[in-house]
Amino acid sequence: MPASYTEQHDLELSNAPAVRPQREVIDGHFITLQPLQPEHADDLYDVVGGSEHERVSLWEFMPVGPFTARQAFQSFLAQCAESNDPLFFAVLDQVSGKAIGYISLMRIDTTNRVIEIGHVMFSKLLQRTRGATECCYLLARLVFDTLGYRRCEWKCNNLNEPSKRAALRLGYTFEGLFRQHMIVKGRNRNTAWFSMIDCEWPAVKRAFELWLDPNNFDEQGNQRQALAALRKNLLSV
């Protein structure tokens, strides 16, 4: 458990609720988060839909999909655009202006000031890029700095190794395994549970900012210091 965390069962807390996230545009350097609209469907289908094997595999651990027909994907995305919880954002590439993924804030509990980042669908154009990291940074910054949540959660199928690695890299703490938690697409899902809390956020935020700084990358675009290493250095001070 991070050194900054202490048991708070006897600590008086404000009863003021967190703010519910709204449909707003969030600009970054590499990506823009834009409230999901049905108009994003064509861009997204081009990079996550269709019958190509690598695109089908993107949906392995998602609760829906894969979508091999454009019209079915358009109907699905229209439903997502209407949803308030989960509240979906399209991830737009700053250079092309095209939607290359989507993500959501969900299980929104303003009373207890708890929220989850989920339904993460990053196309191959977004995966393992600075834009992908910036996307997660921008949402966490919104959650803690703007909306006033105490806890942000990340959950995934325990078989989803890339998602678990991502959670740890981004600064989430593994809390445990919920066995036989769900039935998804006719198969058992054991859910790996991760969280980040408000007292950890300042160091996590600073590590994000140092990692995203252009000086952290060489002329070929390779990172000079890893995100986890930067965070570890900050926590050891």
- In order of their start, the domains of the chain are 26-198 (3.40.630.30)
Beta bridge partners of 176: 193
For 67-89, the pLDDT digits (tens) are: 999 999 999 999 999 999 999 99
pLDDT at position 12 over 90: no
Please determine, for residue 231, whether its predicted confidence score (pLDDT) is greater than 60. Answer: yes
Looking at residue 13, what is its pLDDT? 81
Sign of torsion over alpha carbons 73, 79, 81, 84: negative
For residue 51, count CB atoms less than 10 angstroms from its CB and return exposed for 0-12, middle for 13-18, buried for 19 or more: exposed
Predicted model pTM: 0.94
pLDDT at 236: 79
Per-residue pLDDT at 7? 59
In this predicted model, which residue has the larger pLDDT, 230 or 235? 230
Give me Rg for the CA atoms of the chain.
18
Per-residue pLDDT tens digits for 86-136:
999 999 999 999 999 999 999 999 999 999 999 999 999 999 999 999 999
Residue 1 is predicted with a pLDDT of 46
Q: What is the pLDDT of residue 65?
A: 96
| Banded pLDDT at 6 (limits 50, 70, 90) | low
pLDDT tens digits along 167-193: 999 999 999 999 999 999 999 999 999
Over the chain, what is the mean pLDDT?
Answer: 95
Q: Could you write out the three-class secondary structure of the chain?
A: CCCCCCCCCCCCCCCCCCCCCCCCCEECCCEEEEECCHHHHHHHHHHHCCCCHHHHHCCCCCCCCCCCCHHHHHHHHHHHHHCCCCEEEEEEECCCCCEEEEEEEEEEECCCCEEEEEEEEECCCCCCCHHHHHHHHHHHHHHHHHCCCCEEEEEEECCCHHHHHHHHHHCCEEEEEEEEEEEECCEEEEEEEEEEECCCHHHHHHHHHHHHCHHHECCCCCECCCHHHHHHHHHHC
Q: Are 50 and 72 in contact (CB under 8 A)?
A: no
- The predicted pLDDT at position 156 comes to 98
Q: Give residue 3's pLDDT.
A: 46
Q: Is the pLDDT of residue 237 over 70?
A: no
The 10 Å Cβ neighbour count of residue 87 is: 20
Which pLDDT belongs to residue 4?
53
Please, which residues bridge with residue 217 across strands?
223
Q: What is the pLDDT of residues 36-50, one digit of tens each?
A: 999 999 999 999 999
Residue 157: is its pLDDT beyond 50?
A: yes
